[in-house]
Structure 1
Amino acid sequence: MFVSRSILAPVAAAVALVPAPVLAQATGDLAAVQRHLQSVTTMTADFSQTDRAGKVLTGTVTLKKPGKIRFQYEKGVPLLIVAEGGALTFIDYSVRQVQRWPIRNSPLGVLLDPDRDITRFAKIVPSTDQRLVSVEANDPKHPEYGRITLVFARDSAAPAGLMLQGWVALDGQNNRTTIRLSNQRFGAPVSDSTFRWNDPRRGGRQN
């Protein structure tokens, strides 16, 4: 495939304007994020969720790789989000509604697949705070999948030297959700039964 030098020239010029130490730092940070995502097998944490309207919900999140996550909302909130078996499931018990879609079509997919090479579709987001590392991931071939920006704090005691602080997810309909984490715990045993859920359409039958 022939690519005109005139097309590549502006790209090369733009890269040349970025100081080498900055490029090296970004490359190193992206590699550290990859190592973090590959090394974490389980995680539990408290979370607060803010939607685009500013509504805040809290709860606990449990992650187990590959492919499993559960958002258990605070008491009185009839919602549940569970990923297992390749699908992300949203359950609204107040109206007995269940929605499912492939995890790979969700921005959360980047958190759940330890074999995914994020260096192919992610980039470091520049920040003036050197204590933080932010990385934006999206599939340019499938913009309808949305994108996610993961935020880490540098922490030598955390996996790969990074502590996941949360993320901002933008779905295919431009709905923005911000998740902030606290009390993160890594590596504790998590039973697969954690990701079972009661289907409101089947009289409480468990999935």
Structure 2
Amino acid sequence: MTYRSLIALPLAALVAAAPVVPAQAQTQAGDLASVQRFLQALTTMTADFTQTDRAGKVLTGTLTIKKPGKLRFQYQKGVPILIVAEGGSLTFVDYSVKQVQRWPIKNSPLGVLLDSNRDITRFAKLVPTGSSGIVSVEANDPKHPEYGRITLVFARDAAAPAGLMLQGWVALDSQSNRTTIRLTNQKFGGTVSDQTFRWNDPRSKSGRN
């Protein structure tokens, strides 16, 4: 099991799960600007997640984000993997084989969520959803297709940051491995300790990062 197979349900499943609101005229520029404001307003977020890979395997767990640059996928009990972003790196840990893989977060589609300085309006486009209550944005770096792409799915929600509730995303890597993350119980702006992003290194005797 590799990171690429984990972070890479079709988009339609996310759209179907989101609430529908009355139709309203929205321009592409306006919606992209709203997504940019959401990303800039996002400081911390916690949520439950359901992850589905292209083979249909489903895992669950808890997602924690703290900007700038920190993220943790804590998987359900019995799943010996962990994904953590901190210090500019994204780390995949497989405790079953005592393996650690690490690469720059900017080389991952997830970098879009963690860097408030990136202007998404310059490299992203809207994806038609068939629902006026849903905003879907696909982002990728055309100069680096090897980084993959991510499609973020939002539901319009006046109580959420910038009026958008992040429902989840679909990630596709350069080998066409697709993974869908669906979020529930999203909470924004709470206090999150930096200790949340520490992890045990299975390769070291001390067991600490």
Instruction: Say yes or no: TM over 0.5.
Output: yes
Q: Give the CA deviation at 1:126.
A: 1.4
Residue type of the alignment partner of 1:72 = Q
Matches within 5 A, 1:34-183: 34-183=36-185
Q: Give the CA deviation at 1:172.
A: 2.0
Bigger CA radius of gyration: 1
Instruction: State how far apart, in whole Å, the 1-side matches of 2:129 and 2:155 are.
Output: 12
Q: CA 1:78–1:204 in 2, change beyond 3 Å: closer, same or farther?
A: farther
Q: Give the CA deviation at 1:204.
A: 4.8
Q: Normalising by structure 2, what TM-score?
A: 0.87
Higher helix share goes to which structure? 1
Instruction: State how far apart, in whole Å, the 2-side matches of 1:63 and 1:205 are.
Output: 24
Runs of at least 5 residues in structure 1 that lack an aligned partner in the other structure? 1-20
Instruction: State how far apart, in whole Å, the 2-side matches of 1:131 and 1:100 are.
Output: 37
Residue type of the alignment partner of 1:189 = T
Instruction: State how far apart, in whole Å, the 2-side matches of 1:204 and 1:98 are.
Output: 15
Q: Residue 6 of structure 1 aligns with which residue?
A: none
Residue type of the alignment partner of 2:91 = T
Instruction: State how far apart, in whole Å, the 2-side matches of 1:204 and 1:25 are.
Output: 54
Q: Give the CA deviation at 1:184.
A: 0.1
Q: Normalising by structure 1, what TM-score?
A: 0.88
Instruction: State how far apart, in whole Å, the 1-side matches of 2:199 and 2:46 are.
Output: 18
Q: Secondary structure at the match of 2:175?
A: coil
Q: Secondary structure at the match of 1:114?
A: coil
Residue type of the alignment partner of 1:169 = A
Q: Give the CA deviation at 1:76.
A: 0.4
Residue type of the alignment partner of 1:113 = D
Instruction: State how far apart, in whole Å, the 1-side matches of 2:93 and 2:187 are.
Output: 26
Let me know the Cα RMSD of the aligned residues: 1.2
Instruction: State how far apart, in whole Å, the 1-side matches of 2:84 and 2:206 are.
Output: 16
Q: Give the CA deviation at 1:203.
A: 2.8
Q: Secondary structure at the match of 1:37?
A: helix
Instruction: State how far apart, in whole Å, the 2-side matches of 1:99 and 1:25 are.
Output: 41
Q: Residue 3 of structure 1 aligns with which residue?
A: none
Q: Residue 8 of structure 2 aligns with which residue?
A: none
Query: Where does structure 1 differ by over 3 angstroms across 4 or more consecutive aligned residues?
Result: none
Task: Provide Cα deviations, 1:148-170, integer angstroms capped at 9, x if missing partner.
Answer: 00000000000000000000001
Q: Secondary structure at the match of 1:35?
A: helix
Runs of at least 5 residues in structure 2 that lack an aligned partner in the other structure? 1-23
